[in-house]
Amino acid sequence: MRTFHRVLIVGALVALSACRHDQPAVEVRSVEVPVAVPCLPADRIPDEPPLVAPHLTGDPAHDIAIIAPSALLLRDWGRQMHAALVACAD
C-alpha cells in the first residue's frame, strides 16, 4: 500500500510541475468608492411623538380631545423630519 501512495504522490508532483508558472503578477489598484457618512448627528433626530391609540375609547367626543393634539404633534414632527432630510440632501 505504501508503494501505491508513493506512486500517487510522485504522479501528483509530476502533474503539478506541468502547471504554468508564467502567469502575470498580481496588479494592485486603488479604487475610490463612495462611502455613506452621517449628515446629521443621531442626537439631533427628532423623537416620534407618543402613540395615542391605547388611550382611544371609540367615543368620538372623548377621542377628539386626544387625536387633535396628537395630530398637531405629528405635523410638527413631520416638519422637523423634512428639515433634517433637506439638510442631508444638500
Rounded-to-integer distance, Cα 23 and Cα 63, Å = 77
Q: Which residue has the higher pLDDT, 2 or 35?
A: 35
Residue 77 has pLDDT above 90, yes or no: yes
Residue 86 has pLDDT above 90, yes or no: no
Rounded to two decimals, the pTM is: 0.55
